[in-house]
Amino acid sequence: ERTRLSFLLMRHVLCCGDSLTEGLVSFRLPMDPYGDRLEKIARAAGGEPTTVVSDGVCGDTTPGIMKRLQASLASVAHGHFRHVVLFAGTNDLGMEANMNDIADLVASGVRACLAAGVQRVLLVTLPGHRQSMRLRDKRESCASYADACDAYNDRLRALAGGPVHIVDFQAVMPIKDPTLWSDGLHFTGDGYQLLAEEVY
């Protein structure tokens, strides 16, 4: 049974992450956040008016993402978020950070969300392999990145249960589809649309 975001019962959604949340297609084009597309999908479905806040920062790593998450959860300007979508880890793994350290930070972010009264937390898995070809020149490094990505995604999946859900983007994002990838790391508009639909 599909258990994603119950938009008929919600108002505020926070999408927190890096450039893949900010919506970078290329440095020559405007940002195209999947959160904007998510809001359109939700509003078309009816129910309560839905506001999606996209908090993505190009180049940010998980420590920075978690700091911004804490600030957003505490901000009275945004009001209370009912749902939070976390899409983190791409830049960390590209910098060869320890995947267990990244997953531990995400787990701490999940706990912070639940402590703040968030009803549902969605964790997005990394597509991984296409990114590794972009981020790494040596074949052995590509393999290492892909393995770390798989292990990190498994750690995310292990966090699922109760109000914590997985958006398994790794399972649905084709690796070599130029209509969905703009540069091997970031997505095209169609790629961000696919992500929004999977989150919904």
pLDDT, mean of residues 97-110: 95
Q: 40 with 197: CB under 8 angstroms?
A: no
All structural domains of the chain: 7-199 (3.40.50.1110)
Q: Give me the pLDDT at residue 76, please.
A: 61
Encode pLDDT of 132-187 as tens digits. Answer: 444 444 444 556 778 888 999 999 999 999 999 999 999 999 887 889 988 878 99
Q: 73 with 113: CB under 8 angstroms?
A: yes
Encode pLDDT of 22-36 as tens digits. Answer: 999 988 889 999 999
pTM of the model: 0.88
Task: Sort strands 164-167 and 83-87 into parallel, antiparallel or unpaired.
Answer: unpaired
Which H or E run includes 128? Answer: none
Give me the residue label for tokens 């939070």: 84
d(CA 188, CA 183): 9
Q: Give me the pLDDT at residue 156, please.
A: 97
Task: Sort strands 83-87 and 12-17 into parallel, antiparallel or unpaired.
Answer: parallel
Encode pLDDT of 40-88 as tens digits. Answer: 998 888 767 788 999 999 999 999 999 999 999 988 665 689 999 999 9
pLDDT at 197 over 60: yes
| Strand residue runs (E) in 82-156 | 83-87, 120-124
More confident residue, 122 or 46: 122
Q: 180 with 127: CB under 8 angstroms?
A: no
